[in-house]
Chains A and B, each alone.
Chain A
């Protein structure tokens, strides 16, 4: 697998995405407080767990098919998870008392969580266009997704958009003016690659 960039260490409290993947594979045993007590690591583990959850669908392909899965693409997905785990900007809640907010990283985690509820989807790059640090400022969400071969593209993208919007409305005070879901690729498509 290709190396992921060095920003892992900065965003994952000194760990790499590969270390977190190995930790997940080991059933999070023995417990490592430097991982378990790190919000960035926990966000990355959430995403890695969903990525691992796609394994049954991958296993439907034979070994030759799996070998065709592009290592560069997998590395990019892993790097994206590490990058998204950074805390980012503080997104305020409308509150008369106290200074209450949610981090951009936590919100990106919410967006990625759409993978949980829409089968066969992997969320890639996620960007918030607008000044999320200003209450009431209009914000547009721009998300790239990959879809497993065989899923209806339009229907799946619409389901992802609805899930993201619902989650953001439930857990943030962002003034969302739109959620743009771009199907970046239809991936892990072994039979299609052979033209069958």
Chain B
């Protein structure tokens, strides 16, 4: 089970990045439905919008974000990646392997 403090720290770091307007559950409708089922039986923390996999040599972090139109999405997503890498390092975990997807650019 992923450390809840890590989840909380990562979510806070992502949402604190200028230009980020939302953090969504990543995956398809079917995937999210399956995930809801796994949460129901206690296999995954409810409420987490990040996918985290802690392995021996890497810490996988996957997130789907909404960004503001006010700044280039590529810049915002790179900042989010850097923020995730920093948080993972602060938790003394193996290096972060980040998968980020911008799923919405919010009109200003």
Contact = CB atoms under 8 A, between A and B. Distances in A.
B14 interface: no
Interface string A139-173: 00000000000000000000000000001001111
B74 interface: yes
Given A14-B29, A105-B103, A170 B72 contact: yes
Contacts of B106: 42, 46
B37 interface: no
B107 A102 contact: no
A113 B69 contact: yes
A25 interface: no
A172 B100 contact: no
A174 B73 CA distance: 13
B98 interface: yes
Given A39-B104, A46-B107, A10 B74 contact: no
A interface, size bucket: 20 to 34
Interface in B60-105: 64, 66, 69, 72-74, 77-78, 81, 85, 96-105
Contact of A101 (B85, B100, B105, B107): B100
A103 B102 contact: yes
A13 B98 CA distance: 25
A110 B105 contact: yes
Contacts of B28: 87
A127 interface: no
A173 B74 CA distance: 8
A126 interface: no
A101 B105 CA distance: 12
B25 interface: yes
B24 A39 contact: yes
11 contacts: A13-B32, A38-B24, A46-B106, A98-B100, A99-B100, A100-B77, A100-B81, A102-B101, A106-B73, A109-B105, A170-B72
